[in-house]
A and B are shown apart, each in its own frame.
Chain A
Amino acid sequence: MLSAENITCTVGSKKLLEDVSVRFEPGKLHLIIGPNGAGKSTLIKVLCKQLNPAEGKVFYSGKEVGTYSDAQLAEVRSVLSQNIELSFPLKVWEVVLMGRYPHFNGKPKAADETACKEAMDFFDVTDLADRNYMTLSGGEKQRVHFARVAAQVWFPAEGKARYLLLDEPLTFLDVHYQFQFMNKITEMLGKGDLVVVGVVHDLNLAAKFADTIVLLNKGKLMAAGSKKEVLTKDNIRAAYRLEPVIVEEKDGKGTYLFFQ
C-alpha cells in the first residue's frame, strides 16, 4: 500500500499541490490524469521522495517515507522519470543492469542477471542489448528504461510490497507500443504484490487500462476512484475546458472519449 496524506507543495507563493490525499493498493494499476500544470509530476516526485512536501506525509507499507534510506527504498521501489539523457555512451545491457544496482555490491549475482535478461525479453529489447544507447530512437530508449525499472523490482520482495512509479511512460511510443506497454504492466500486476502508479495524458488509455484513476486539476484532487466515477462529463469539462462525448460499449467493457 502506498499512500499520501494531505500533501501540499509550494514553489514561492504558488501552490503546486494543495491538500492532496491518495491511496494506491497492490495488484492494481493506478493512473493519474489531469491537464498541463495540474501537479501530476509533482505528485509522482513527492511519492518517490524526490521532493519534500511543505505539508503532509507519504507512507510505504504504512511506514513514513522519511524512515527509509534512499538505498532501502530503491530495493522495493523503482521510478521511471521523463527525459532521461545519458552523459556517456553506454551499451543497452549496461543501462538495464543499473536497475539491479540496489541489489548487489561489486559484481552482479545470478539473480541480477536473470532479472535483466527476463526484463529485456519482456520489453522486447534483447536484440538491442549490445547497441550504444545513444544511437537508439526515442521509442527504443523508452523501452530500454522500461526494462531497467522493471528489472529493479523484478522479483517479489519477501513479505513486502513492490512499487513502480511511472511519470508519463508513453511519451515517444507509437500506438502499438503504448498498448503493448500497458498490457505488460497489467501482466506484471498478476503477482498481486505490485503497486503501479503512472501519469498518462491519453484519457482513452486511462479508460481502457486503469483500475483506479486520480484526476488532478490546478494542484487539487478533483476526483479519484473507478473510471465510471472519475471520467464523467462534468469532471472532464471542468478539468480540460472542452466538451466531451463519452461513448460506452454495450457490454459496458469499453469507454471512449471524444471531444467536440
Chain B
Amino acid sequence: METSRFNSHYRGISLMLLIILVITALFSMRYGAVDLSLGEIFSSLGKFFSGDSDGSLNERIFAEIRLPRAILCVLVGASLSVGGTLMQALFRNPIVEPGLVGTSSGAAFGAALYFVLGALFEYNAGEWTLPFAACAGGMVATILVFVLSQSKQTGKSSIIALLLTGIAINALFLSGVGFLSYIARDPQARSITFWNLGTLSGANWHSVIIIGTSTVLCLVLALRYAKQLNALMIGEEEAQYLGVNIKRLKMTVLLINVVMVAVATAFVGVISFVGLIVPHLLRLLKGSDNRFLILNSALMGGILLSLADLVARLLLRPAELPIGIVTSAVGVPVFIVLLRRKNYYF
C-alpha cells in the first residue's frame, strides 16, 4: 500500500545527520595542535566516565580541552542554526539570521559590558550573570531592529527596511563592543577579535553546562511552536484564521531565539552565517516544514560548526584562526548564490 504523503517521516534524515555528527565530532576531537589516536580517545572517554582523573598528557588534553570543545561546538552550532530557522520563519523571509537582525551583536555588547563593568566594580553575581547580560543585550538589539524596521503605515517590516536597520544596529552595537574592548582590563574582553570573529578556544565544562542547558530547553520549546510557524508561512492573518495567537507566537519565538543565540554568543563571540545557511541546505534536502527544519537544523548546525572549528584549528596549526573567519569565508559565497537563485521570491 502506498504510504500516505500526509504523514511524512523525517527519521531517516535525522538518523543520517546524527551519524555524521558523531563522526565529525570524533574527527574534531582527534586532530588539532596535537593529534590523538582513536585508542587514546576511547581510553580517556572510559576514564572520564569512571571518574578516573589520572592519565597521560594526551588523555588529559582530550578530557579537559578537546571533549568540552567538541561538545561546545555542537551546542553552539545547534543554537545558531535553530535561531536562524526560527528567525526566518518569524520574519517570513529566507535571508534572515540572528547575525543580521542584531541578536548576536547585541549579545556581544551585553557580554562585553559585563566583563568591563564587572572588572571596574569587582562585582561578580555568579556564573549566570554573563549569559543573562548577553540575553539582555541581544533582546534590546533585536527588538530595536524589529520595531525600527516596521513601516508606520502598515505595521509590517519590509525586508529592505529590516536588513538596513539590522546593518545600522549591528554597527552601533559592534562599535560599542569596540569601545568597551578598548577600555577593558579583562584580557578576554580586551581581545576585540574574540567578539567580532568568534572563537571556541575558551571552551571548558562550565560553558558547556550553561550553553547545554539553554540549547536543550530552547530546542524543546521551539519544537512546540513548529506547527504554528508553519501556518505563518501563508501570512499573519491566515495563520490567525488557522487558530494561531500571533502576538504570543511572535513574543515567545523571539524570546527563544534571543536566549539561544545570546547565551552562545556570550561564550564564543559572534559567529556569522551558520544560522543562515543551515536552514537553506535543509530546505533543499526535504522542504520547508518547520517540524522537520527545527530538529534537523540543530543536528546539521552541529556538524557544520564542528567542521569549521576543525578547519580553524588545522589551517595554521599549531596556531588557530577565529572560527568566524572560516564561517564567513564559506558562508558569504553560499549566501550570494542563495540570493541569486530563482526559486525564492523576496
Enumerate chain A interface residues (CB-CB to B < 8 A): 48-50, 69-75, 77-79, 81, 84-91, 93-95, 97-99, 101-102, 105, 107-108, 112-113, 116, 129-130, 132, 134, 152
Contact = CB atoms under 8 A, between A and B. Distances in A.
A18 B289 CA distance: 43
B55 interface: no
B126 interface: no
Contacts of A73: 243
A213 to B, nearest CB: 24
Nearest to B235: A84
Contacts of A78: 241
A79 B234 contact: no
Dominant secondary structure at the B interface: loop
B7 A152 contact: no
Q: What are the 6 closest A-B residue pairs judged by CB atoms, nearest first?
A: A74-B243, A87-B92, A88-B288, A71-B243, A79-B241, A102-B243
Contact of B289 (A50, A94, A101, A130): A94
A93 B230 contact: no
B6 interface: yes
Contact of A86 (B227, B233, B242): B233
B20 to A, nearest CB: 25
Nearest to A75: B243
B223 to A, nearest CB: 10
B235 A89 contact: no
B93 interface: yes
Contacts of A84: 234-235, 238
B240 interface: yes
B60 interface: no
A108 B6 contact: yes
B110 interface: no
Nearest to B289: A94
Contacts of A132: 343
Given A93-B6, A94-B287, A130-B5, 14 more contacts: A69-B243, A69-B245, A70-B243, A70-B245, A73-B243, A74-B241, A74-B242, A87-B233, A89-B288, A89-B344, A90-B288, A91-B287, A113-B6, A134-B343
B240 A98 contact: no
A98 B242 contact: yes
Q: How large is the interface on B (under 10, 10 to 19, 20 to 34, 35 or more residues)?
A: 20 to 34
B71 to A, nearest CB: 30
Nearest to B240: A70
Nearest to A83: B235
Contacts of B300: none
Contacts of B5: 93, 129-130
B6 A101 contact: no
A170 B176 CA distance: 54
Given A94-B289, A98-B231, A113-B7, A87 B93 contact: yes
20 contacts: A69-B245, A71-B243, A72-B243, A74-B243, A75-B243, A85-B345, A86-B233, A87-B94, A87-B232, A87-B233, A88-B94, A89-B344, A90-B289, A94-B288, A98-B242, A99-B242, A102-B242, A102-B243, A105-B227, A108-B6
Contacts of B235: 81, 84-85
B242 A152 contact: yes
Interface in B274-289: 283, 287-289
A116 B4 CA distance: 12
**Most chain-B Cβ atoms within 10 A of its Cβ — which of A70, A102, A112?**
A70
Given A84-B234, A87-B92, A101 B241 contact: no
A132 B93 CA distance: 17
Nearest to A112: B6
A76 to B, nearest CB: 10
Nearest to A91: B287
Interface in B172-221: none
